[in-house]
Amino acid sequence: PLREQALELAKAPVDLSRYRNERNLMLFPFCSTAKAKRVKGIRYVSADGKRWLEVTANYDYGMAKIWDFDILRFALSKAGEIALHVGYFPNSVEFSGYECLKALNRSDQGKNYRWFRDAINRLCLTGYRGNIFRENEKITEVFTLIQASYEDETGKMERVKFVFNERIVESVKFFKGLLSINRDVINEEAGIKKRLLELIAVSKGKDSSWTISLEKLQALCAHEGTLKEFKRQLKEYWLPWEVRFNKSFGGGQNITFSDK
């Protein structure tokens, strides 16, 4: 009965008490951080070489972008809200384009509905290979994050249904994988900064600081330019942490984010 109740609630609008995202989606580079269409894949390997992720774009639509992931953040937030009330996390949610755009602070305009439709295509058609979601790193999995269906008679996407990949659902149910995120993540327009707000928060956790090599950070942000360019960009952002650059033992550079 809990499941039925949750799936029933998932069809109606829900007031969100907070925004949420799944931990792995925050930790690893699952999407493009560039405004331009990206077709070139992402290849990420963790520092110890044990965890890896490949992201493949659909040639016609391009790779899912970090702004497209706001729709997924909204859908996960809605499912999380239902789980809070009912005690069961639904594996699918339904919503209208209007409901989602409103939650994302986007206006009810034609261009936003066009973005919304394109974003859903990119989210559903971007493919993944890797061993991120499983404890056993010997297993390689090939998957997409969501499946979607929609009705669009007026150009306003009246009804959209998202079905979450089982890996996301399992992460939430068995590994406490659904985390609260700051509303600033949703509101942020700059791709790399939007990525940093989530990545640093989840990596730092409750510690007072987090240190990472500049190269690793660039890879985690799916930044395609030079390291010098990436560093310049970092220096331009106002972030809610203190940022310090220092030399690492290997001759590269480290960056530390600390509580202000």
The whole-number average pLDDT for the span 234-250 is: 93
Q: For residue 250, what pLDDT band results from cuts at 50, 70 and 90?
A: confident
Per-residue pLDDT at 249 = 83
Is the pLDDT at 219 greater than 90? The verdict is: yes
The whole-number average pLDDT for the span 116-143 is: 96
Both structure tokens of 21: 């995202």
Contact 68, 119 (CB under 8 A): yes
Contact 126, 144 (CB under 8 A): yes
Is the pLDDT at 1 greater than 90? The verdict is: no
Tokens 């480290």 appear where?
Answer: 254
- Could you give the CA distance from residue 73 to residue 171 in angstroms, rounded to a whole number? 15
Q: Model pTM? A: 0.96
- Could you give the CA distance from residue 188 to residue 224 in angstroms, rounded to a whole number? 20
Q: Report the percentage of the chain scoring pLDDT > 70.
A: 100
Per-residue pLDDT at 231 = 97
The partner residues of 243 in beta bridges, in order of sequence, read: 257
Per-residue pLDDT at 251 = 82
The partner residues of 212 in beta bridges, in order of sequence, read: 255
**What CATH class is the domain 189-260?**
mainly alpha
Per-residue pLDDT at 30 = 98
Q: For residue 8, what pLDDT band results from cuts at 50, 70 and 90?
A: very high
Q: For residue 82, what pLDDT band results from cuts at 50, 70 and 90?
A: very high
The whole-number average pLDDT for the span 218-242 is: 96
- Each residue of 83-92: b (16+ CB within 10 Å) or e? beebebbbbb
What average pLDDT is seen over the chain? 96
- Each residue of 38-53: b (16+ CB within 10 Å) or e? beeebebebeeeebbb
Domain ranges in the chain are 2-187, 189-260
Q: For residue 244, what pLDDT band results from cuts at 50, 70 and 90?
A: very high
Give pLDDT tens digits for 196-215: 999 999 999 999 999 999 99
**Nearest-5° Cα angle at 74, 70 to 77:** 135
